[in-house]
Amino acid sequence: MSEPKKLFVKTYGCQMNVYDSERMAEALGSEGYEQVGTAEEADMILLNTCHIREKAAEKVYSELGRMRPLREANPDLKIGVAGCVAQAEGEEIMNRQPMVDLVVGPQTYHRLPEMARKVEAGEKALDTDFPEEDKFAHLPKARKPKRGPTAFLTVQEGCDKFCAFCVVPYTRGAEVSRPADRLLREANELVERGVREITLLGQNVNAYHGQGDGGEWGLAKLIREMAKVDGLERIRFTTSHPNDMEDDLIAAHGDCEKLMPYLHLPVQSGSDKILKAMNRKHTAEEYIRLIERIRAARPDLLLSGDFIVGFPGETEADFQATMDLVETVGYGQAYSFKYSSRPGTPAAEKPPVDDATSSERLQRLQALLSKQQYAVQDSMVGREVQVLFEKDGRLPGQLIGKSEYLHAVHALAPQNLKGEIAKVRIVESAKNSLKGELI
């Protein structure tokens, strides 16, 4: 057998990209590529990119710039760009960075093996189609090595919501849900390989409507059926849209034990005027009522969200409405961003808020969100949580894992608890983790 060729994949952006990178490495595995940890040792470098905000795409171009010396040292090195920047920019990437050999969108990475053969033969390869066939059905039956206790599983892809600021409906395409029987089979396989926790992924995951036994299943039905998989202990899902939080999914938070008490439910803004301009199709009040219903089903649920400040037309009063909503709702954790104009989206046509104002608002919002985050973390001190230990901690003898609330928790624990769930009492709250003691 010939030497394995070496593949380095660098992932940007969301968890869907993390999942896609694993699949791309598997697809290229069938072409004799083995993954390595640094760009320096690679025969092929794949950047799996994100287009959600300006900086994300710019980072890719500067990363490509930094790769020039590697390419000069090794003219046989192949460089590929995958993901949403690839989808949005297509051939433009090769024009701007001629050393790029391969451009592949998120919907066509099952064609990577043939594309790799093409670039190995010295040609360029570009594929940003939205094909009819199911890319998941074409992935190789990879070797099934043991793996860590947590895994992502893409159940739905694409988005039909067309929020006025967002590129996802253009880069990832229309909503497609994968068939339930395949997902249950994959969940079983993951568990056989050592997985204890599965996070169901989708750009708009709670709009899941895949073909299942006896008709279409919603996300709640999928979760309830997946919960029957023996050995699977925890289920999470991300990311959701408020308008797709159906009654059964809310109920599942109360009665499905394996569904973890954590929900990422972005609202983006607290101003009805801005929500309307964003095409979110709900009001701040409706979101607050929805949270009340979810919390009635699961009172200890930890809520996470996304916020955009400085959306075109946002006044100080609109921003204050966002601050008020945050105060009312109370988040355990949240992401907040300055609005970034994305070419081709409706909001890009509107006059922007000036940058200094946006920056100042972002600071105020982040201060409030951090305060809430630390208050929730501090409130965990003294409480018992269940930690799924994933790996060694920073200090000798420590393991680190996640509580049911997705807090990172470290504790002195024996190695044999790696991959297991153990009861831990939280004794200290630090910036990005909690310290616990085994009970």
Positions in the binding site for ligand 5AD (CB under 6 A): 52-53, 165-166, 266, 268, 306, 308, 337, 339-340, 342
Q: How close are the terminal C-alpha atoms of the chain, in Å?
A: 51
Alpha-carbon distances of 134 from 109, 177, 273, 349, rounded to whole Å? 11, 10, 39, 35
Nearest to 75 by CA among 46, 49, 95, 101: 101
DSSP state of 188: H
Minimum CB separation of residue 165 from ligand 5AD in Å reads: 4
- Nearer to ligand SF4 by Cβ, of 15 and 398: the residue is 15
100, interface contact from ligand SF4, ligand 5AD, none, CB < 5-8 Å by kind: none
- Nearer to ligand 5AD by Cβ, of 219 and 365: the residue is 365
Nearest to 116 by CA among 106, 101, 129: 101
203, interface contact from ligand 5AD, ligand SF4, none, CB < 5-8 Å by kind: ligand SF4
List the interface residues with ligand SF4, window 219-248 (CB under 6 A): 241
Minimum CB separation of residue 243 from ligand 5AD in Å reads: 14
Minimum CB separation of residue 268 from ligand 5AD in Å reads: 5
383, interface contact from ligand SF4, ligand 5AD, none, CB < 5-8 Å by kind: none
Q: Are 49 and 93 in contact (CB under 8 A)?
A: no
Q: Are 292 and 322 in contact (CB under 8 A)?
A: no
Task: Sort strands 5-11 and 44-49 into parallel, antiparallel or unpaired.
Answer: parallel
342, interface contact from ligand 5AD, ligand SF4, none, CB < 5-8 Å by kind: ligand 5AD
Please count the other Cβ atoms lying within 10 Å of the Cβ belonging to residue 268: 24
- Nearer to ligand SF4 by Cβ, of 159 and 411: the residue is 159
- Nearer to ligand SF4 by Cβ, of 88 and 387: the residue is 88
The mark string for 274-293 relative to ligand SF4 (x by CB under 6 A, - otherwise) is --------------------
CA gap 15, 303 in Å, rounded: 18
- Nearer to ligand SF4 by Cβ, of 19 and 254: the residue is 19
Is the peptide bond preceding residue 239 cis, with omega within 30 degrees of 0?
yes
The mark string for 146-185 relative to ligand SF4 (x by CB under 6 A, - otherwise) is -------------x-xxx--x-xx----------------
CA gap 123, 382 in Å, rounded: 61
333, interface contact from ligand SF4, ligand 5AD, none, CB < 5-8 Å by kind: none
Phi, psi of 53 (to 5 degrees): -135, 160
Minimum CB separation of residue 166 from ligand SF4 in Å reads: 3
Q: Say whether 283 sits in a helix, a strand or coil.
A: coil
Nearest to 106 by CA among 132, 81, 84: 84
CA gap 27, 131 in Å, rounded: 17
CA gap 185, 181 in Å, rounded: 6
Please count the other Cβ atoms lying within 10 Å of the Cβ belonging to residue 68: 12
Report the residue closest to ligand 5AD, judged by CB: 306
Minimum CB separation of residue 231 from ligand SF4 in Å reads: 32
170, interface contact from ligand 5AD, ligand SF4, none, CB < 5-8 Å by kind: none
- Nearer to ligand SF4 by Cβ, of 159 and 409: the residue is 159
Residue 42 near ligand SF4 by CB under 6 A: no
Residue 204 near ligand SF4 by CB under 6 A: yes
- Nearer to ligand 5AD by Cβ, of 108 and 239: the residue is 239
Greatest alpha-carbon pair distance for the chain in Å reads 67
- Nearer to ligand 5AD by Cβ, of 53 and 221: the residue is 53
Minimum CB separation of residue 368 from ligand 5AD in Å reads: 16
Length of the chain: 439
Element (H, E) at 410: strand 408-412
Nearest to 85 by CA among 168, 195, 189, 188: 168
Minimum CB separation of residue 266 from ligand 5AD in Å reads: 4
Q: Where on the chain is the footprint of ligand SF4 (CB under 6 A)?
A: 159, 161-163, 166, 168-169, 203-204, 241
